[in-house]
Structure 1
């Protein structure tokens, strides 16, 4: 973590997370909002869209900041390495990027948001199909542990990150988690992916937008954060 300068970390994490959220929340908007050409495309489109979002954002940021783009990943790396010095910078940059990305989705789909007649929090943030806090929290923890241990394990293969193949593996891992574990909660597995867009949804003048479901909002923040910490501990102990 300490090999990157503060300026590069800020630019890389802000830009990379903004692109990740722009493309990820963008696919949610495309599938959900009426008068979108992708309306009704379904869960496969969402999961692959998020995987491609990670792919593009991480490629952009990898040489600048290491492309964490996710506080859970930053926490897992800090637990494994013992280096916590730049964690606040990573987390703040990621949250800023998530807010910027969500704002850009609103700009792109402005006409569709104006034509929409129902609640839109699901475009921006995750929500459970069955509202059970314990199950929902465990789902997010487990999914994030899979993600973070998978990312940390790439360090075991020399040259994988330098070749760029590592970014592709992470993107495919995100698709796999979404297909297998995303059904119960919509798989945030990233605190700022949910919190940043939820804040934007709460503040924007979107017609008929409904509430922002703040009663649930702690789960996609706490679950991935705990999952990142546990993923870092598991990797450190096992490898």
Structure 2
């Protein structure tokens, strides 16, 4: 578990409790050691989170405190809300559901004035059933990228000519109206961009690949003129 996630869960475990919770209980809840709990509580206290108590007694958030895990400005919060809506509309079902869940967690700990601001955002990204994102293809390609799975594609180019390709999928890019899949094409022995809407059939070959220096993501980004550091 990332430290940021652990600190969020620690604050969440303390929130709304009238009685102190012991370090042992926190350690069990977070599946970490007592030493980690003591260290994390001390770090949060030093950063200004109003946690009261001590080892051997227990911990509680000071009465009346309402401390979100991150202090968002109204514009930062609006950016998160709008970003979530775009993820739901354009990034596939899996990431869309995760974005919605993440926003619910954030809103659960917001003070009332910021929560109200998040609901007044007037930038929308409607979800439509006739877009490629609703077909499951973007989810499937994203999964292959994450798992480093080689894919076999039946692909049609812009002149409708079909070809069989084995590709090592590296990234997905959204251009506002269309997607491209950046990949190492084994047929051409080079990087290629494929439009998902021109993929007729796809299937995993059962093979995986490594993110090598010569044909991995960083090499692909350099091949299209992008700085790998700026793309992340």
**TM-score (ref. length: structure 2):** 0.24
> Which structure would you say has the larger Rg?
2
Higher helix share: 1
Higher strand fraction (1 or 2): 2
Q: Which gives a bigger RCO, structure 1 or 2 (Cα 8 Å, sep 6+)?
A: 1
